[in-house]
Amino acid sequence: MPTQSPAERYQAARERLAESRTEFGSFKETFDFELDEFQMDACKSLEAGQGVLVAAPTGAGKTIIGEFAVYLALARGLKAFYTTPIKALSNQKYAELSAKYGARDVGLLTGDSSINPEASIVVMTTEVLRNMLYAGSDALDDLAFVVMDEVHYLADRFRGAVWEEVIIHLPSEVQVVSLSATVSNAEEFGAWLDTVRGSTAVIVSEHRPVPLWQHVMVGKDIVDLFAGDTSFDELAAEQGGIPAVNAELTQLAHTEAQNRLRGRFAHGGRGARGRNQPRRKGGGQSGWDKPEAGQSPVRTASRSQVILALDRAELLPAITFIFSRAGCDAAVRQCVDHGLMLTTEAERQEISARIELASQDIPSDDLEVLGYWSWREGLLRGVAAHHAGMLPTFKELVETLFVEGLVRAVFATETLALGVNMPARSVVLEKLEKFNGESHVNVTAGEYTQLTGRAGRRGIDVEGHAVVLWQPGTDPGAVAGLASRRTYPLNSSFRPTYNMSINLIAQFGRNRSREILESSFAQFQADRSVVGLARQVRSREESLAGYRESMTCHLGDFSEYAQLRRELSDLESSAAQQRSRARRDEIDESLSALRPGDVIEVTHGRSPGYAVVVAADPHVGEPRPTVLTEDRDTRRLSRQDLNGPITVLNHLRVPKQFNIRQPKDRKNLLAALQHALVATKSGAVPRSDAFSSSGYAAQEEKISELRRRLRAHPCHGCSDREAHARWSERWWRLRRETDALVRQIQGRTGTIAKTFDRVCEVLQSYDFLEPGPDQTLRPTVAGQRLRRIYGDKDLLIALCLREGAFDDLDPNDMAAFASALVFQAKREERGLRPRMPNAALENAVEVLIRQWSALEDQEAQAKLPLTGEPELGLVWPMIKWARGRHLEAVLEGTDLAAGDFVRWTKQVIDLLDQLAGVPGLPPGIRRNCLQAIERVRRGVVAYSALAA
């Protein structure tokens, strides 16, 4: 480092002194390590009064900027809200901030948890803050900072709109701290924040504080994905692109592909041994063997073998991502059955004590159904699963023990990557595809980055490691592409909902509401795309002018002549298509009319000649009857074998016991066919394949008229006619493309406001909105109730309230009915509508289904997203739980995991709590909602109150 001059040293000392007197300087002193440049830049911008958007990799330390906002709020005697996308992350952040600033100054609000809500610092889920804004909560007084952790979650198609609602509606004096994973369009998002929130500093860092190595695990060997002796981060920085893939892996993929190809052509017995198979030291120990034809040269290691290999390489603790809950649980069982032991005796004693403490309130009767014993056995060995189906208490302890180093191998679903602070030395991906609820899809580059971002613990590890397991058909180049694309675009999922729209109208009126919605990030992105489209339109219009000049004819208006040519061409093409379609329909009709015993002649196709029908096919579509030809061939007849409708020449009697597979039956039928053909050929009227064009006379007449007009046009005699025509054709193609772009612009301009208008029309049709004295829209009494209902089925719930669906329900029924309004079954778990426990619930469900069906019709007509069909699969378990049954009895006969049941029950509680606060409802409904909450908030639900 160059030696500083005395003047430079003096200046640096003055700057340090000046910084030490700032709030940031005081904050920085609370850390025993140097902050990164991006952290310092963001904190200084925040202290200067700007909002900030920080986009940096997972584990880079973005939350320090959020903590500085908290520090500023406390120092200035103001409030700060720290929002997260999931309750588990809110709970974790609440614990961290409470430990740092004291429980008195920190609160928690997550819908089902309320701790010290009047505190200066409140951690909450983003939905809670959205609801506060719409309700005009007093808690917003003195609010100075809002931290939006994991703000890239606004791209989520189900919940992402909440982030935009909050950003738009927060008071202008509130500074917003947006913390995002690295995205490729951070500047675009920052420009929008600058538009709606005022001055916003955009700070992007792609530097990982802990370098990440990328590997592929081949058999039991861990092989570098990229060539060279430096990490991917350093390679990318040096080479400025995708580094070279390890040639060893490329050769293995090539060998595997060749062997699969050989396997296709191997005939019987054992396939030939492949040549030039890659081998590693240790022979069969590595899992790289000479395979038989068609087999992979790699034997995939078991899950316990993978963990042992990582342990030998000193790469534990590790998180293995398996995109299946059942797969995670199975992985733990496999490791236990294999005898895997990653803990010492002292560690096992500590883990046992922690398990006893965490589970002391769980009734012993529930332990078996909760999977307690297998969970405990895995923890004692240092192995655990982590997924949404687990009991929250169990999941929390797994997180704690993993962070403390007592659990060293966790098998998790991708939900772990959503912000929960649980980093590891290495991350393993078993497969690069997952089931998204509808189909199996490849992992995206953004998902890969998010998952592998857990590798490398800051301040603990000098490097992190990402490991992809080799599977048959693995493409090392594709893996390298995923690993190399470090960013992904952030795209808005915002759309106006019923609750959002009616709250906006109540507060701002319709016109102002449209303006607010047009300020969304979704519309911002649409408008930006319109700018690019408009630029294309202008460029194409210039080209069109040039084309028009090139097709100018001195004899007349060539554009008029070209229009005649196009009309004629289109009409001739249409006529040909109609004739072809009519001929096909006549052929299909004649084929579907054939019956066993009909004698026909096939004049075209692969084997023309006479045949007898042995099996009819009267199906709509393309009928394919089975025939026996005079050449003794049995085949199915299709329209491709005919040039026109087929005619029956004769008919034979086919015995009922006729079997086409019996040679004797075929021989007898063929003899009868030959006999019939003699009579047919001598006296039958031959079938004509001619296609009748009757009915097309008017069309042919129009074609003739167009041809006459074309020949009579002055430009028809031009010597440069065909050259002009070529320019005309180019003009026409470009005109169509340009018009399509113009339609795109029209479709994107004001798209959010147009959707809002359609939502308002639906709300008006249901009398949730009505014209006021000044003819502007305002909520009705029913509309005021809708303002307090949040969720995917907000309008449907409000309709059920208005139609009396809740009126006759007791507290137990209330909980069960609420489950039908929040529960979403997996697609494979959806079944027939179950019988309801009693008449009151049956009547309520009848109202629900009837209202949903009518609403879906309205939404389809208005071209709005459809409200999901109510799911009744949780009704029986919920009413059993409300009646006090044990958990095992509640879950008996269902596919619900205990953790899932707790999670859905919390959502039922949240809805019941909302309903209890809806204004103007009969007192009995409110009373029953509160009693229902008391009855279901018990047992595992009650002692899981602080978990997701």
pLDDT per residue over 564-605, tens digit each?
Answer: 888 778 777 777 777 777 788 888 888 888 888 999 888 776
CB of 274 within 8 A of CB of 259? yes
Which residues on neighbouring strands pair with residue 84, listed in sequence order?
125
pLDDT score of 277: 31
Q: Is the pLDDT of residue 265 over 60?
A: no
String of DSSP letters for 622-682: S---EEEETTS-EEE--GGG-SS-----EE-PPPTT--TT-HHHHHHHHHHHHHHHHHHHH
d(CA 594, CA 596): 7
Report the alpha-carbon angle 101-105-108, nearest 5: 105
In whole angstroms, give the CA distance from residue 330 to residue 56: 35
Q: Specify the pLDDT at position 269.
A: 38
Among the listed ranges 101-110, 311-320, 584-593, 701-710, which one has the minimum average pLDDT value? 701-710
C-alpha distance from residue 695 to each of 582, 586, 613, 656 (Å): 11, 14, 32, 43
pLDDT band with cut points at 50, 70 and 90 for residue 781: very high
Q: How far apart are CA 591 and CA 639, in angstroms?
A: 8
Give the mean pLDDT of 689-698.
52
Rg (CA), the chain: 36
Query: Which residue matches tokens 């992992």?
Result: 443
Taking residues 149-168, report their average pLDDT. Answer: 85
pTM for this predicted structure: 0.68
Average pLDDT for 383-410: 88
Helix (H, G, I), strand (E, B) or coil at 424: strand
pLDDT given for residue 78 in this prediction: 93
What is residue 151's predicted lDDT score, i.e. its pLDDT?
A: 87
Least-confidence region, from 285-289, 450-454, 656-660, 881-885: 285-289
Among 337, 341, 324, 333, CA closest to 407: 341
CA distances, 354 to each of 396, 404, 405, 497 (Å)? 12, 12, 13, 45
Cis peptide before 6 (omega within 30 of 0): no
pLDDT for 276 equals 32
* Overall average pLDDT of the 106-116 stretch: 83
Q: If you search the block for the tokens 């029908």, which residue do you land on? A: 613
Neighbouring C-alpha atoms within 13 Å toward the C-beta of 520: 30
Most confident of 368-372, 449-453, 477-481, 901-905: 901-905
Average pLDDT over residues 432-446: 70
Residue 73, token pair as written in the block:
């709020």
931 pLDDT band, cuts 50/70/90, is very high
Q: pLDDT value at position 307?
A: 92
Q: What is the mean pLDDT of residues 342-366?
A: 87
Residue 747's pLDDT is: 64
pLDDT on residue 453: 79
pLDDT at 233: 58
pLDDT on residue 230: 59
With H, G, I as helix, E, B as strand and everything else as coil, classify residue 104.
Answer: helix
Cβ of 599: how many Cβ atoms within 10 Å?
22
Report the alpha-carbon distance of residue 735 to residue 732 in Å, rounded: 5
Residue among 850, 848, 844 nearest 814 (CA) = 844
How confident is residue 408, by pLDDT bands cut at 50, 70 and 90?
Answer: very high
Q: How far apart are CA 19 and CA 904, in angstroms?
A: 50
Highest average pLDDT, of 16-25, 408-417, 689-698, comes from 408-417
Nearest to 792 by CA among 867, 873, 897: 867
pLDDT at 176 over 90: yes
pLDDT band at 851 (very low <50, low <70, confident <90, very high): very high
What does the pLDDT look like over 15-31, one tens digit per residue? 555 555 688 888 888 88
Residue 756 structure tokens: 């809002």
Per-residue pLDDT, 403: 87
Gap between the Cα atoms of 844 and 796, Å rounded = 13
- Distances from the Cα of 816 to the Cαs of 98, 389, 883, 905, in angstroms? 36, 20, 10, 10
DSSP state of 437: S
Among 89, 162, 175, 76, smallest CA distance to 124 is for: 89
Q: Do 219 and 286 meet the contact criterion of CB atoms below 8 Å apart?
A: yes
Whether the pLDDT of residue 835 is over 50: the answer is yes
Beta strands in 228-357 (DSSP E): 318-321
Question: Which pLDDT value is given to residue 82?
Answer: 94
Tokens of 606: 């692969």
Query: How far is residue 615's CA from residue 625's CA, in Å, rounded to a whole number?
Result: 6
CA 656 to chain centroid = 56
How far is the CA of 573 from the CAs of 534, 569, 728, in angstroms? 34, 6, 19
Q: What is the DSSP string of 398-414?
A: HHHHHHTTS--EEEE-G
Q: State what percent of residues in the chain have pLDDT above 70.
A: 85
- The pLDDT score that the predictor gives to residue 582 is 79
3-state secondary structure of 498: helix
226 and 214 Cβ atoms separated by less than 8 Å: yes
Pick the range with the lowest mean pLDDT from 103-107, 215-219, 240-244, 538-542.
240-244
pLDDT in tens, 729-760: 888 888 888 878 777 766 666 678 888 999 99
Between CA 478 and CA 493 the distance in angstroms is 28
For the segment 300-315, the average pLDDT, to the nearest whole number, is 89
The model's confidence at residue 915, banded by pLDDT at 50, 70 and 90, is very high
Q: What pLDDT does residue 263 have?
A: 54
Mean pLDDT, range 771-783, rounded to an integer: 84
Residue listed under structure tokens 């490097």: 463
Q: Where do the DSSP E strands lie in 190-265? A: 200-204, 212-218, 221-224
Q: Where are the alpha helices (DSSP H) in 684-720?
A: 697-712
The answer to whether the CB of 201 falls within 8 A of the CB of 42 is yes
Please report the DSSP string for 339-372 in residue order.
Answer: T---S-HHHHHHHHHHHHHHTTTS-GGGTTTTTH
- Mean pLDDT over each residue of the chain, to the nearest integer: 81
Q: Are strands 212-218 and 464-469 parallel, antiparallel or unpaired?
A: parallel
Q: Is the dihedral of CA 472, 475, 478, 484 positive or negative?
A: positive
Model confidence pLDDT, tens digit, residues 329-350: 999 999 999 999 999 999 999 9
CA 597 to chain centre: 56
Over range 188-215, report the average pLDDT. Answer: 87
Task: State the pLDDT confidence band at 83, using cuts at 50, 70 and 90.
Answer: very high
Q: Residue 860 has what pLDDT?
A: 92
Using 50, 70 and 90 to split pLDDT, how confident is the model at 234?
low
The owner of tokens 């895995």 is 378
The enclosing H or E element of 264 equals helix 247-265
- What size, in residues, is the chain? 948
Alpha helices by DSSP H, listed for 201-246, are 232-239
d(Cα 752, Cα 870) in Å, to the nearest integer?
27
The predicted pLDDT at position 706 comes to: 78
What confidence score (pLDDT) does residue 922 get? 87
Q: Which of these ranges, 140-154, 289-303, 618-632, has the smallest mean pLDDT?
A: 289-303
What single-letter DSSP state applies at residue 196?
H
Residue 90's pLDDT band (cuts 50, 70, 90)? confident
Q: Which two tokens stand for residue 859?
A: 């939404």
- Check residue 35 and give its pLDDT: 86
DSSP 315-326: --SEEEE-S-HH
Phi, psi at residue 437, to the nearest 5°? 105, -20
- pLDDT for residue 532 is more than 70: no
Distance CA 807, CA 803 (A): 9
